Structure 1
């Protein structure tokens, strides 16, 4: 049985005749008669009795009407909810990440998101990379993409995905023959990092600083392509996420080495303020973000 059949039963029961129901259903009387015969054929029982030129529900018809009203009410509620979900919310979503390289996630995601929420403007906030959660607390961001969980009662942390960091080196580098690297291996190296301060760099805060190791030289370079060319030229090495490095591994001048015996992994989170009136579009953006980056970085 189809929704149109349920609407027919409800309207005819309300109006008392096919001729009166046809206008609200935008169908001819003959079309309604045909639909009614379809319903009765499916049920194997009459739905209406004709009493003094009026259609009155049979026992089977009363049962059907009871369910029809419930189903049609639920469908109407669903339609209203979807319309509100898609077009009812308006606002601005200010997004920041702690790492500039993650911004290549966003264009495809934004296009998909704004098909559902055309009235929501997304603002990308690239400045002040290091203190994203503090910016959330200060009201400067609505959503922060960060690596590592932050323990703060005022923040909601939603896990997105995990990635592995690998050391990218020239194929003729001594590290290329190692199964994995330890902190001491980096002491005499020229290390290229993405940005300062060192305490925010995973290699430093998880591996080097705990072991008291300082590389020979540390050079911050935010442009990945520039860092890659320097590595090819033997001017340094770099520890970066596998998903960042992979596009460059087709070059036979480069190879990767794991960091530590068990590997160096980090977990990414979407951080938002805990509040009761969080717009629906924020939760939707996080859901789409999780699916999007899992496909790219998983």
Structure 2
């Protein structure tokens, strides 16, 4: 068994290209090809099919890849545990995050990690919910932010609940002034965040019987805000996104106070390295310090109380 050959095989699959894998490993393409052939000979099974369109895993390769990645993860954990025992944490953490987390939390977390653990290398992958969960299951990522409940069978720690808010052109004033009703949303053109955006807008719209009334399908949050700003419609945006991107738009809580639960998922405990564990604890402490309790979720009765004079 050669971990070196396992690493090369994993990198070939991850990059989808022998030449790219060779560059990253500082090897020649022929050396990478030889390593793959040696591994296939050792297993007595073909692992990859190569043609003009690139490479593709064989059925044997698909079945063996998770086991190979598990071995590599255990080796990584072993090395980091040895480094931890010797007094200095070393290693790497591959973090997956969706857009609003990348814009708001990640910069602080990476800076803090670099300050406290300078020998730990941090790499960030930004993507949509499903792709991030898949990256964790495939062993490409060590730690991912997810929306709870996750789509796949992974365990996640709840971090916080974040409201979904409605953004409108500035000249729109909802009937109740302080919040917008689902009835009002149904009467307007909705600019729908596309697949891979910061939250599952389609699921939200289906759950609330909201019809798509726009040909637009936008992923970038700033583009959605720009379209709303220009009067082309309204949209539903996570509150965390609006902490960084404001724009000249109206921002209103939605009737019923819909929200998403943001969570954090890791590999199975046996594969969680010391560096990943340190990052996990740092994230938990950061979220607790920034959000000591759930934000004040909008409740309809609050608006009614204020209309009657309120009690505050």
TM-score for both structures, normalised by structure 1: 0.59
Contact 1:87 1:118 in 2 (8 A): no
Q: Deviation of residue 286 (structure 1)?
A: 1.8
Root mean square deviation, CA, Å: 3.2
In the TM superposition, what whole-angstrom CA distance separates every residue of 1:186-225 from its partner, at most 9, and x where no partner exists?
3443323443169x8444313x213443221153334333
Instruction: Find the aligned partners of 1:284 and 1:226 in 2 and give their Cα distance.
Output: 36
Equivalence for 1:30: none
Q: What is the 5 A alignment of 1:8-87?
A: 84=84
Q: What is the 5 A alignment of 1:111-122?
A: 111-122=111-122
Does residue 220 in structure 1 map to residue 214 in structure 2? no
Query: Paired residue for 1:260, among 255, 263, 275?
Result: 255
Instruction: Find the aligned partners of 1:193 and 1:85 in 2 and give their Cα distance.
Output: 51
How many residue pairs align between the two structures?
Answer: 210
Query: Paired residue for 2:265, among 271, 281, 285?
Result: 271
TM-score for both structures, normalised by structure 2: 0.57
Contact 2:189 2:214 in 1 (8 A): yes
In the TM superposition, what whole-angstrom CA distance separates every residue of 1:213-238 from its partner, at most 9, and x where no partner exists?
32211533343333323222111212
Equivalence for 1:245: 242
Does residue 140 in structure 1 map to residue 134 in structure 2? no
Q: Deviation of residue 295 (structure 1)?
A: 5.2
Equivalence for 1:210: 207
Contact 1:87 1:117 in 2 (8 A): no
5+ residue gaps, structure 1: 1-80
* 3-state SS, counterpart of residue 164 of structure 1: strand
Equivalence for 1:196: 195
Instruction: Find the aligned partners of 2:253 and 2:128 in 1 and give their Cα distance.
Output: 30
Q: Deviation of residue 107 (structure 1)?
A: 1.7
Larger radius of gyration: 1
Equivalence for 2:158: 159
In the TM superposition, what whole-angstrom CA distance separates every residue of 1:34-68 from its partner, at most 9, and x where no partner exists?
xxxxxxxxxxxxxxxxxxxxxxxxxxxxxxxxxxx
* 3-state SS, counterpart of residue 125 of structure 1: strand
